[in-house]
Amino acid sequence: MTTYITTPIYYVNAMPHLGHAYTTIVADTYSRFRRLCGDDVRFQTGTDEHGEKIVQAAEEQGCSPREYVDRISAAFQKTWPLLDVAPDNFIRTTNAEHIQVVQEILQKVHDQGDIYFSEYSGHYCKGCERFLTEKELVDGKCPDHLTVPEEISEQNYFFRMSRYQDQLIDHIKKNPEYITPERYRNEVLSFLSEPLEDLCISRPTTRLTWGIPLPFDEKFVTYVWFDALINYLTGIGYPDGPDFEKYWSVAEHVIAKDILKPHAIYWPTMILAMGLTPYKRLHVHGYWNVEETKMSKSIGNVIKPGELVQEYGVDTVRYFLLREMSFGLDSSFSGEAIVTRRNSDLANDLGNLFSRTLTMIGKYVAGRVPEVDEKVVTDEDRTLIGSMEGMLASYQRSMNNFAFHRGLQAVWEVIGELNRYIVTNAPWELAADPAKKKRLDTVLYFLAESLRLIALVLRPVMPQAAEKMAVALGLEESMAGATLATAGRWGILEPGTGVAKGPQLFPRLDTGKQQQPKKKAASRKIEQPTADMEGLITFDQFGKVDLRVAEIIAAEKIKKADKLVKLTLKAPEERTVVAGIAKFYRPEELVGKKVIIVANLKPVKLMGVTSQGMVLAAKDTDEQGRERLVLSTVEGDITPGSKVA
Ligand code: MSP
């Protein structure tokens, strides 16, 4: 099969940040996953370099647009290798070939009567670089940029988007997977239930010169979206390159919800006007906030991918982003959240399983993969094979549907099962009794073979850790060309293969402010099941957390932060706590509840409100992947301020 996966091409008016990194890691992971399925894959990203925003940013930096776009585009190109992101093509809209193709397309669409000249007046938002409809304004302002749009009246060229509206509706209805997750498909269909306005696709050169000149009227340049979307074609050699033939019909685009309209409406209608087949799928994800607050330059909470990698390592960053965000929903980034995932999922669950298994193979069976003796295979072993096969199936289904969090959840379920398998089979006891040698060999084979499969499925997500695992399992060469079809089944690991001493994949990170990897993790005696102390805390440590009952006496939503509620609590003194629960509770239902809070957290300022503590709550997702949250409350007659222990 063939796969063509793209990211948006990013505006060069800002340096790469967490949001760009997430989308690009998603596309990279999918490209690696499809390669693992044996596909011929093309993965493209790039930069969007025309338009007013860019001119403005260049002016602010005191340089020419050309110098400016070269500099920022280079910063994007340098960022991707740091994240182990390996695109096959990096496209820039200032490339001569791209410019030429955009002009050819404009001419064709113009010649067939789908572009016309007309007078237009409307509300122009500079931030969005487009005219907003009356309906889109909130209190007369652009809801995204919170600025009052300029009233502009000018003559421009328009693309007859309305002509393709019915065809587009029909296509979306006939292809349920065209836009996913479903909520975004519904959003698009609902937008399309009203008549579409035609799209203004030019800017007069009196207002903007940094753009692609219209081939049929040099007094105008092309509207940046009409130029940018075409990158998905120029990057594969449209109209007559061999890669275009090969990849266009399977094009899949990944974007965030902010640019749904250009991708789900402008782009498919443009494609229809060009006489091409629609792209295959559009995958839309939610937004990353930072500690429940919108990421923005002015708040100063922009997360830089390079710094993240330096602090946590590339595999941890990739795993965290893919595991933490339910694809389609918003998610919140925090240092604590990434350290928690690293220490519990990576260091404890996977890292310990791996190093324990390899150390036991080294110690008990001279570092060679032992042989299974069918006579001692138990029901538990057979169940384990079933679980591994179930994991492989659910992993593949989830990865294909962009439910990366679910795919990883399936992998971590078997990791948990394997850790329990070690405890129930206690290889250290089997090793102590020569009569149990065959059982010991069988148990160790089951562990090693399971780890081989785990390394295989983790390759798209954590390329470096997966490689280390494969090398340690003696699989280096056979893994290189392995696919899920050739290697994704039970029983491939050859007895006799030499395995290395278990490398430490993920040293634990300090949970304090300095989240640097510890130089050396505490040495453990793997023979003792009780010695597996990593991830546990002592009574003393637990005693430092001051958990208290607090009564909510007032609650109000925080303006401009759709997730946050300001709670006034009695515990027993009055205090303010900001909680990210606005989507799950209305303020009036909160008053009177007795919740559990962490009372001795350092105060933090969130959206201008000082939060003195944290309210405990449990979170999960329902069958449709929607987030759910329930506050931890206490029942019965208890005085606010009482200690919880
Ligand atoms: N240049 C246009 C895209 C043209 S595509 C033909 C553009 N560029 S952008 O630099 O603003 O990038 C927007 C994209 O960056 C989002 O769709 C998303 O992929 C990513 N993100 C930017 N901020 C984000 C978050 N806070 N969270 C998640 N992704 C976000 O729009």
- pLDDT tens across 20-37, in order? 999 999 999 999 999 999
Q: What's the pLDDT band for 515 if we cut at 50, 70, 90?
A: very low
Concatenated DSSP letters for 201-214?
-EEETTT--SSPEE
Q: What's the pLDDT band for 522 if we cut at 50, 70, 90?
A: very low
Q: What is the pLDDT of residue 610?
A: 85
Tens of pLDDT, residues 235-261: 999 999 999 999 999 999 999 999 999
Q: What is the pLDDT of residue 538?
A: 59
Q: What is the pLDDT of residue 640?
A: 87
Q: What's the pLDDT band for 523 if we cut at 50, 70, 90?
A: very low
Share of the chain above pLDDT 70, in %: 94
Q: Which amino acid is at 312?
A: Y
Give 266's DSSP letter: I
Q: What is the pLDDT of residue 573?
A: 83
- Indicate which atom in ligand 1 lies nearest the CA of residue 289: 26
Residue that the structure tokens 């909520």 belong to: 183
CA 321/CA 243 separation, integer angstroms:
31
- Specify whether 125 is catalytic: yes
* Six-digit token string for 28: 């990279």
pLDDT at residue 443 above 70? yes
Q: What is the mean pLDDT of residues 515-537?
A: 35
Q: Which residue segments constitute the domains of the chain, with CATH numbers given?
A: 95-160+198-231 (2.170.220), 335-487 (1.10.730.10), 535-631 (2.40.50.140)
Share of the chain above pLDDT 90, in %: 78
- Indicate which atom in ligand 1 lies nearest the CA of residue 8: 5
Please say whether the beta carbons of 201 and 208 come within 8 A. no
- Specify whether 200 is catalytic: no
Q: What is the mean pLDDT of residues 558-563?
A: 82
- Indicate which atom in ligand 1 lies nearest the CA of residue 256: 17
Q: Which residues contact 490 (CB under 8 A, 6 or more apart)?
A: 385, 388, 389, 449, 453
pLDDT at residue 179 above 90? yes
Q: What is the pLDDT of residue 550?
A: 92
What pTM was estimated for this model as a whole? 0.80
* Cβ neighbours, 10 Å, residue 25: 24
Please say whether the beta carbons of 23 and 7 come within 8 A. yes
| CA distance to 185, 195, 224, 515, per residue, from 230 (Å) | 22, 24, 10, 42
Q: What's the pLDDT band for 518 if we cut at 50, 70, 90?
A: very low
- Indicate which atom in ligand 1 lies nearest the CA of residue 294: 26
Which of 69, 258, 261 best tests ligand 1's pocket when mutated (most atoms within 8 Å of CB)? Answer: 258
Query: What rounded mean pLDDT belongs to the chain?
Result: 91
Q: What's the pLDDT band for 318 if we cut at 50, 70, 90?
A: very high
Q: Using CA positions, which residue lies closest to atom 18 of ligand 1?
A: 256
Bridge partners of 180, per DSSP, are: 283
Ligand 1 neighbours (beta carbon < 6 A)? 8-11, 19-20, 22-23, 48, 228-229, 231, 255-256, 258-259, 287-288, 295
pLDDT at residue 624 above 70? no
Tens of pLDDT, residues 86-109: 999 999 999 999 999 999 999 999
Residue 430 half-sphere exposure, CB side, CA atoms within 13 Å?
21
Q: Which residues contact 45 (CB under 8 A, 6 or more apart)?
A: 6, 7, 9, 10, 24, 27, 76, 80, 85, 87, 89, 90, 91
Please say whether the beta carbons of 617 and 632 come within 8 A. yes
Q: What is the pLDDT of residue 481?
A: 84
pLDDT at residue 315 above 80? yes
CA of 257 to the centre of ligand 1 (A): 9
Q: What's the pLDDT band for 132 if we cut at 50, 70, 90?
A: confident
Q: What is the mean pLDDT of residues 257-275?
A: 98
Tens of pLDDT, residues 534-550: 446 656 667 778 899 99
Q: What is the pLDDT of residue 513?
A: 45
* Of 511, 531, 323, residue with least CA distance to 415: 323
Q: What's the pLDDT band for 609 if we cut at 50, 70, 90?
A: confident
Q: What is the pLDDT of residue 410?
A: 98
CA 477/CA 466 separation, integer angstroms:
13
CA of 8 to the centre of ligand 1 (A): 6
Q: Is the peptide bond before 262 cis (omega within 30 degrees of 0)?
A: no
Residue 300 backbone class (left: φ over 0; alpha: ψ -120 to 50; beta: rest): left
Helix (H, G, I), strand (E, B) or coil at 151: strand
Q: What's the pLDDT band for 611 if we cut at 50, 70, 90?
A: confident
pLDDT at residue 520 above 50? no
